[in-house]
Amino acid sequence: MQKYDTVIFDLDGTLLDTLEDLCDSTNFALAEFGYPKRSLQEVRSFVGNGIGVLIEKALPQGKADPLYGQVLETFKAHYTLNCNNKTHAYEGIKELLERLNEAGYKIAVVSNKVDSAVKELCEQYFKDTIKIAIGETEKIKRKPGPDEVYAAITALETSKESSVYVGDSEVDILTARNAGIDCISVSWGFRDRTVLSEAGAQVILDTPMDVFDHIQKK
């Protein structure tokens, strides 16, 4: 009997490469208020804890900046229109989801991106394979809290013991730990192997098919 029947994915940096759109919207918001722009690599290191933290890290004074709220709202408005200009699924992801679906696994997405954007992007890119997509809302505590993961497990009518979380960042490792489920870290996203290892990753895989093979062997 296989250990897992449920696979819960992070979205940004795991299924979708959203970095350039996030960077463009961040720099638009910063420029609107006269702040210096951030590089793609800087924004890469800022993402993972939601857009509030992204803007906090992008601003020179962080959340203490008196214009923090305005910059954040400007980012939100711009990203709503800009969230799918350069975004694309990583190579091999659609095939991974199709194979998991065909093999009978239950699949969900749990993300710190705003819930409406998570649902919209999953509908556009993965509507045939992902039915449950959960993002940040006022009602559900975002990662690394376990609440979104528990909501997905409940919606899929499965259990913690038979679920595994797949993500690309230290936030995902901590989320899985807090939820009491296994974690697979992937190296193709926003964090490299060194960061993942230092964060306590137990399993680090390099391709989507590696993920499928690992899950099948359990």
Catalytic center residues: 10
The answer to whether 134 and 149 have CB atoms below 8 angstroms apart is no
Cite the DSSP H helix spans in the chain: 19-32, 40-46, 51-58, 68-82, 93-102, 115-126, 147-155, 170-179, 193-198, 208-217
d(CA 191, CA 209): 19
b/e 71-80 (16+ beta carbons within 10 angstroms → b): bbebbbebbe
67: which residues sit within 8 A by CB, 6+ positions away? 33, 59
d(CA 24, CA 218): 40
Q: Dihedrals φ, ψ of 53, to 5°?
A: -70, -35
d(CA 123, CA 131): 8
d(CA 161, CA 181): 7
d(CA 48, CA 68): 18
